[in-house]
Amino acid sequence: MVLGLVLEPMPGGAFVLLCVTVSTIVGGIPITKALAGYADTTVWLVMAAFFISRALINTGLARRIALFFVRIFGRTSIGVTYALALSDFSLAGIIPSNGARSGGVVLPIVRSIAELYGSSPGPTADVLGRYLMMAVYQSICVTCAMFFTGQASNPLAAGMAKELGYTMTVGGWFMAGIVPGMVSLAVIPWVVMRMSPPTIRKTPAARQFAMEQLKAMGGMTGHEKILSAVFVAVCYLWVSKGSWHNLDITITALLGCCALLLTGVLKWEDVRSEKTAWDMFIWYGGLVNLGKILNETGVTTELAKGVVGVFGSQPWPILFAAALLIYFYVHYGLASITAHLLAMYTPFVAVLKAQGAPIGLVCYAFACFVNLSAGLTHYGTTPSPMFFAHDYVSFKDWWRVGFVVSLVNLLIWSTIGFGWWKLIGIW
């Protein structure tokens, strides 16, 4: 399946459907289990985010928000990227779902700003949209690594670390991530710009243009007000999960969609015609599920054991470096940070602890780096297919930029990051 997505002998969705079907024959997987990915809550969270995004665009609210950002930060294209990255950063401390936060909140603004400058998928993608999609996505992978609540499975890593004898707190995670994370957030948009420069670099008239457009739009319409209320309510339910309710974040997102349908803000025809969402549904649902089945068969666990078998006799720094690199780049074959953690976090950390490696260094490194590895592919975590499906970026460019950014992140976090962790007493 991964090779098919790389080589593209046919459209991605068609090839994934083929692989899901064939897996029932050559892999002995029951058809109900092979198709289970299409009932996965993460997949439906992505779908809900697409539908809410469509309502944001149709009502003009996303354009209004985009114009507000442009008015403040729109003097340069890299300034827009920094503004959106910082928006995701500010939300990462309260919304523990990168799909809800980055895909549901930030992505519609990215698309609206691109279209504001006449950049659409196709010939005009390189005007601004291609750069924004890649630079903002790579930035949100960093914010996922910076907070205990930056990504839904970060608390899972903390739980596994506690079982191994090390406690990772909310404050401790923030202290660990703030310095290397801010360096990465500062550097990555510049790196992406060097690799895929937008046609528009400076927009000296953007602020005045945005002010004029906002004035022309006038006050918020009734549909915009309803959408704003639903949007705030959904975000509040995401934030308050566990404090006074236990609604799954996907249920919350779908309730938001239903509210928009009931009020007429979102039309059923809009849902039916959202082709990119339904295309993503086919390939992402199949990919996530087969990745889970691969994990259940023990393949990834055996890979971890194999690494330990090869490097186990080496001093802990060598084993740590080798394990961390393999752990990072094995994400090319995974479409879930959670599956990655469940399969490989505990065996690697346990062995390195036994070899004498500082437990704090190892626990934080493997917890943070798995989030950074999500930037490698267009299926690395929940928001990635949402960004990629907008068709601004080719598969080749996405992977090319993802690989170079991975090297930059590895360099920053293993030098500045590890040095900072030493200074604050993590190891």
User: 356-403, pLDDT tens digit by residue?
Assistant: 899 999 999 999 999 999 999 998 888 898 899 889 999 899 999 999
pLDDT tens per residue across all 427 residues of the chain: 767 766 668 877 888 899 899 988 988 888 998 898 898 887 887 788 778 878 877 888 877 877 777 777 777 889 888 988 888 887 776 666 677 778 877 888 888 888 878 889 989 999 999 999 999 999 999 999 998 878 877 877 887 888 788 988 888 999 999 999 999 999 999 999 999 999 988 766 567 777 887 888 888 889 999 988 998 888 788 777 767 778 887 888 899 999 999 999 999 998 998 877 788 788 778 877 877 787 677 776 676 677 667 766 778 899 899 889 999 999 998 877 877 887 788 788 888 888 889 999 999 999 999 999 999 999 888 889 889 988 999 989 999 999 999 999 999 999 999 999 999 999 9
Q: What is the pLDDT of residue 248?
A: 82
pTM of the model: 0.73
Which residue do the tokens 């400076």 mark? Answer: 202
Bridge partners (DSSP) listed for residue 202: 76
User: 241 - beta bridge partners?
Assistant: 245
pLDDT value of position 96: 60
Q: In 3D, which of 322, 330, 338, 412 has the Cα closest to residue 377?
A: 330
Report pLDDT for 308.
67
The rounded mean pLDDT for the chain is 85
Query: Strand, helix or coil at 156?
Result: helix
Is the separation of the CB atoms in 257 and 51 below 8 Å?
A: yes
Query: Exposed, middle or buried by CB within 10 Å (0-12, 13-18, 19+), for 27?
Result: middle
What are the extents of the domains in the chain?
A: 1-34, 35-423
In order of 138, 239, 291, 331, the CA distances from 2 in angstroms are: 21, 34, 10, 11
SS (H, E, C) 209-247: HHHHHHHHHCCCCHHHHHHHHHHHHHHHHHHCECCCECC
The predicted structure's pLDDT at residue 176: 96
Q: How far apart are CA 230 and CA 257, in angstroms?
A: 9
CA atoms within a 13 Å half-sphere pointing along the CA-CB vector of 299:
12
Q: Look-up: residue for tokens 């989030």?
A: 371
Rounded to the nearest angstrom, the gap between the alpha carbon of residue 277 and the centroid of all alpha carbons in its chain is 16
Name the strand (E) or helix (H) holding 207.
helix 206-217
- Packing angle of the helix pair 41-59, 107-116 (nearest 10 deg): 40
Determine if residue 226 is left, alpha or beta; phi over 0 gives left, psi from -120 to 50 gives alpha, anything else beta.
Answer: alpha
According to the model, what pLDDT value does residue 351 have?
Answer: 82
Instruction: Report which residue type is found at 197.
Output: P
Res 124: pLDDT: 93
* Whole-number pLDDT of residue 139: 95
pLDDT at site 325: 94
Confidence (pLDDT) at 8: 67
What are the backbone dihedrals phi and psi of residue 76, each rounded to the nearest 5 degrees, phi first?
-140, 155
Angle, alpha carbons 369-283-249 (nearest 5°): 60
- Write out the two tokens for 97: 């779902």
Contact 337, 379 (CB under 8 A): no
